[in-house]
Amino acid sequence: MSASKKIELIEKALKAFYAGGFQAVGMDRLAKETGISKTSMYKHFKTKEDLILEVLNLRDENYRSWFVRRIEALASTPVERLLAMFDALDEWFHEETYLSCMFIRASCEYPQSSNPIHKISAKHLRLLQAYVIGLAEQAGVKNPGDLARQLMLLNEGAIVLAHIQGPDDVARNAKETAQILINHALSQ
Where on the chain is the footprint of a second copy (CB under 8 A)? 21, 23-24, 99-100, 103-105, 107-113, 118, 121-122, 125-126, 146, 149-150, 152-161, 163-166, 173-174, 176-177, 180-181, 184
Least CB distance to DNA at residue 118 (A): 18
Q: Are 1 and 15 in contact (CB under 8 A)?
A: no
Least CB distance to a second copy at residue 105 (A): 5
40 vs 129, beta carbon nearer DNA: 40
State how far Cα 35 lies from the chain centre: 26
Residue 116 backbone zone (phi > 0: left; psi -120 to 50: alpha; other: beta)? alpha
Would you give the binding string for DNA spanning residues 135-164, x where CB under 7 A is met?
Answer: ------------------------------
Tell me which amino acid residue 126 is: R
77 binding partner (options DNA, a second copy, none; Cβ < 5 to 8 Å by kind): none
CA neighbor of 135 nearest in space, from 177, 46, 74, 90 = 74
49 belongs to the binding site for DNA (CB under 7 A):
yes
37 binding partner (options DNA, a second copy, none; Cβ < 5 to 8 Å by kind): DNA
CA neighbor of 38 nearest in space, from 49, 50, 26, 56 = 26
182 binding partner (options DNA, a second copy, none; Cβ < 5 to 8 Å by kind): none
Q: Are 44 and 107 in contact (CB under 8 A)?
A: no
Query: Which of 19, 47, 116, 127 touches DNA (CB under 7 A)?
Result: 47
Report DSSP letters for 44-96, one per residue. Answer: H-SSHHHHHHHHHHHHHHHHHHHHHHHHHHH-SSHHHHHHHHHHHHHHHHTST
CA dihedral 24, 27, 32, 38 (to 10 degrees): 180
Residue numbers 1-40 binding DNA by CB under 7 A = 1-2, 5-6, 24-29, 35-40
Least CB distance to a second copy at residue 94 (A): 14
| Site for DNA, rule CB under 7 A | 1-2, 5-6, 24-29, 35-40, 42-43, 46-49
